[in-house]
Chain A
Amino acid sequence: MADMAIIGARDSILGFKALGLSVYPVKTSEEAEKILTKLVQENFASIFITEDYAANMLKRIEELEKEIELYPSIVIIPSFKGSKGLGMEKVRKMIEKAVGIDLLSSERGDS
């Protein structure tokens, strides 16, 4: 019924093609933004986007997420260059807004 899509640099995401995901290679953040805006209208369950492009469009992602009801969920994944922790950062912000304090990092300090 639903599908998954992945947006990112060609090198990062080509491997997912073999798994049957819908792959959208992009070269610039603007391109990624355009594709993402289009994809959220379609019938995807999850959209993954690699960190290197997501970094420049966090605002847009936030905006889009507000409009979305249940699907798709937009998830930031690390690119092939390694993780900068952006995906975590996004969730940390959501938590901070909801609870008023930063739960993630304080808990990390404990453990």
Chain B
Amino acid sequence: MQQQVSATRMELMNYKKRLVLAKRGHKLLKDKRDEMMRQFMILIQDYRDLRNKVEAALSGAFQGFIVARSGMANEFLEEALLTSKDKISMTVSKGNIMNIKIPKLSLEYKGDIIGYGFSETSGDLDYSLKLFADALPLMVRLSEKEKAIQLLAVDIEKTRRRVNALEHVMVPSLEDALHQIVLRLGEIERSALTRLMKVKDIVRKH
């Protein structure tokens, strides 16, 4: 990329400084990107395992629930579910990966899932609810991980763009400018030299 630079020593110094800075920034950002990618890979691995577990757990739970539902009258079922004494509470805090804030969720159970009488409900319902309860902590962790991946993905993209911009635009253009200045300065020096020689020649003739 061509750009207009004034060829002075002052400018030369400035450009040298900027080039050093750009190179250092590039190196740092590259390191950041690499580390982010490493963390990202770990997250993805975890996420995939979790996702598989959740899908398996949930499909089991859903099936159990459908069986339970078919074995019971609708109003009894709804009543049973509504009277559940189970209370979950989530504690939300912030974690940190590479200075990116990610959510950390922790789940607390209070009370019992089964808050209904046993006379009108089937054992299948107890069982399927137990399955749901087992799946829930996994789901919480899944949501935590998914958000982390999403946030990290955005940041990796940003960092990657920056690295590329520095590497392919900033550094080459600075180097180019530096080169131009050096050439121009050399040219000025040579012309000054020949001028001097010419002047000396004229002086000598007199």
Asked if A70 and B103 make an inter-chain contact with CB atoms under 8 angstroms apart, the answer reads yes
- Which residues of chain A have C-beta atoms less than 8 A from B88's C-beta? 4, 19-21
- Cβ of A94 under 8 Å from chain B: yes
Residue of B nearest to A83 (CB): B55
Contacts of B101 in A (CB 8 A): 70
Q: Write the nearest CB–CB distance from B139 to chain A, whole angstroms.
A: 7
Count: A-B pairs, CB below 8 Å: 145
Instruction: Please tell me if the beta carbons of A18 and B132 are within 8 angstroms of each other in the complex.
Output: yes
Looking at chain A's contact residues, the main secondary structure is mixed
Contact indicator B81/A75 (Cβ below 8 Å): no
Q: Are B92 and A2 in contact (CB under 8 A)?
A: yes
For A48, list chain B residues within 8 Å (CB): 139, 143
B77: chain A residues at CB < 8 Å are: 14
* Residues of B contacting A72 in the complex (Cβ-Cβ under 8 angstroms): 143
Q: For the complex, is B54 an interface residue (Cβ under 8 Å from A)?
A: yes
Residues on the B chain within 8 Å of A100, using CB: 160
* Distance between Cα atoms of A5 and B162 in the complex (Å): 37
Which residues of chain A from 50 to 103 have a CB within 8 Å of any chain B CB? 65, 70-73, 75, 77-80, 82-83, 87-88, 91, 94-95, 97-100, 103
Q: Known interface pairs A46-B143, A77-B58. Does A18 touch B90 (Cβ–Cβ under 8 Å)?
A: no
Whether B58 pairs with A1 at a CB distance below 8 angstroms is: no
Determine whether the beta carbon of A46 is less than 8 Å from that of B105: yes
Determine the interface band of chain A, counting residues with CB < 8 A from chain B.
35 or more
**Bound CA–CA A87/B142 (angstroms):** 10
Residue pair B90, A3 in contact (C-beta under 8 Å): yes
Q: A11-B69, A15-B61, A20-B86 are in contact. List 20 more A-B contacts (CB 8 A).
A: A15-B62, A15-B81, A17-B81, A17-B84, A18-B113, A18-B115, A19-B88, A19-B129, A21-B88, A45-B105, A46-B90, A46-B139, A48-B139, A71-B103, A77-B139, A91-B149, A91-B150, A95-B40, A95-B44, A100-B160
The 7 listed contacts between A and B (C-beta, < 8 Å) are A1-B92, A18-B114, A65-B150, A88-B48, A91-B149, A91-B150, A98-B152
